[in-house]
Amino acid sequence: MKKSIDCLFIGGSTQDLLMRTEEIPKSDQRVQAFEYVQCCGGVSATAAAAHQEAGGVTGLITIVGEDAAGEFITQDLQRRQFHEIQIIKKPGARSSVSMIQIDKNGSRSITHYGGCIYDLEFGMLDVKLLQSAGMLHLGVMDEELMMEIAGFCRAEGILLSVDGGNLSGSLAERILPFTDVWILDEGTVKKTLGMTPEEACLYYHDKGHKGIFSAVTMGGDGAVGYDGKKFIHMDPIRVPVVDTTGAGDNYHGAFLYGMGRGWSMEMCMEFAGIFASLTCREIGGRKGIPSCSEVMKYMKPSNT
């Protein structure tokens, strides 16, 4: 079947309230915010927005509750005009909401309410929409649902990308054999494995199938990937950091855009790293999303 979508993103969408302060308050302390933004965030929705902004043909499946936050998220996502979108409304449920406080150095404190993301079931998903995608990207959701989608991708010959951040070690071992692109953050690696990023890349590759690409993002220290033959190290570009919210999600969306263009893993990592760095210039995961042409200005001449 001809694929009409480059990548379909499945997972949570969140109503985010972000506030910038001189310092993040301690217990029983009150501080004054000098800027605030209310926007739609979430692992999958932010990655999808990055993929679309880079120039990809993008799809999104997400779930919201029947509440004010769900209506806010729905309106925001509909305004983005993704190529395809399925917004599932769960009767009587509450949507995902995050309160994010950011200090003058860009460090954050996050309070997150997960809402109804774990109510998502395979039977709710538009199967024809799944089949129309060349790649699927999964954020955090019910573990058994993630395994069902992984099995579906294997049966249908669809490439599978997984955001490994905040996933349990047991789920990682189960889903890695089905996964083609496995990218996660250094914090999750330390928490679940206690390894260096390079050791973790090798570990994930050994647990996956022969062709899996594994990578670990390291914030201001860049990222490292492993393609089965060699390590790929990418340094970040330096930008004035206002807020790092959504940087990892933007990395995923930009990386998968490059994969959809048939780029090398080195070029995908360089593009994604630059893209994610540039988003940190503004508050929130989407306000600072750059255009593809802006990212290309920072790329090595050999990769443009």
Domain membership flag for residue 110: yes
Q: Write the CATH number for 95.
A: 3.40.1190.20
Residue 301 has pLDDT above 80, yes or no: no
Residue 1 banded pLDDT, cuts 50, 70, 90? low
DSSP codes joined into one string, the chain = ----EEEEEES--EEEEEEEESS---TT----EEEEEEEEE-HHHHHHHHHHHHT--EEEEEEEESSHHHHHHHHHHHHHT-SEEEEEEETT---EEEEEEE-TTS-EEEEEE-TTGGG--GGGS-HHHHHTEEEEEE-S--HHHHHHHHHHHHHHT-EEEEE-TT--HHHHHHHGGG-SEEEEEHHHHHHHT---HHHHHHHHHHHS-TT-EEEEE-GGG-EEEE-SS-EEEEPPPP---S--TTHHHHHHHHHHHHHHTT--HHHHHHHHHHHHHHHTTSSSSSTTPPPHHHHHHHS-GGG-
For residue 105, what pLDDT is reported? 87
Q: With respect to residue 2, please indicate whether it lies within any of the assigned structural domains.
A: no
pTM above 0.85, yes or no: yes
- Determine, yes or no, domain membership for 265: yes
Q: In the prediction, which pLDDT does 227 show?
A: 95
Indicate the number of domains in the chain.
1
pLDDT recorded at residue 300: 82
Domain of 39 in residue numbering reads as 10-24+33-298
Give the gyration radius of the chain's Cα atoms: 18
Q: How far apart are CA 231 and CA 229, in angstroms?
A: 7
**Does residue 1 lie in a domain region?**
no
Query: How open is the CA angle 38-114-254, to the nearest 5 degrees?
Result: 65
Distance CA 193, CA 214 (A): 15
Six-digit token string for 60: 């999104």
Q: What would the pLDDT profile of 40-63 be if each residue is shown by its tens digit?
A: 999 999 999 999 999 999 999 999
The pLDDT tens digits of the residues spanning 169-225 come to: 999 999 999 999 999 999 999 999 999 999 999 999 999 998 999 999 999 899 999
Q: Is residue 143 part of a domain?
A: yes
Which one has a higher pLDDT value, 125 or 238? 125
- Tens of pLDDT, residue by residue over 6-22, are 999 999 999 999 999 99
* Residue 5 is assigned to a structural domain of this protein: no
Whether residue 96 contacts residue 13, with contact meaning beta carbons closer than 8 Å, is answered with: yes
In this structure, is residue 92 part of a structural domain? yes
Q: Is the pLDDT of residue 304 over 70?
A: no
Is residue 3 assigned to a domain? no
Report which of residues 105 and 64 the model is more confident about. Answer: 64
pLDDT single digits (tens) 86-139:
999 999 999 999 999 999 988 899 999 999 999 999 999 999 999 999 999 999
- pLDDT class of 3 with cuts at 50, 70, 90: confident
